[in-house]
Structure 1
Amino acid sequence: MDQELFAALEKKVDDLLDKYSNLKADNTQLAEENQRLRSEREGLKSRVDTILGKLEGI
Structure 2
Amino acid sequence: MVGAGPAGLATAVPRSRTSLRRCLTCGPVGCCDDSPSRHATQHFHASAHPVIKSFEMSAP
The two structures have a TM-score, normalised by structure 2, of 0.25
Flag the structure with larger Rg.
1
| Structure (1/2) with the larger helix percentage | 1
| Structure (1/2) with the larger strand percentage | 2
The two structures have a TM-score, normalised by structure 1, of 0.25
Could you say which structure has the greater relative contact order, defined with CA pairs below 8 angstroms and 6 or more residues apart? 2
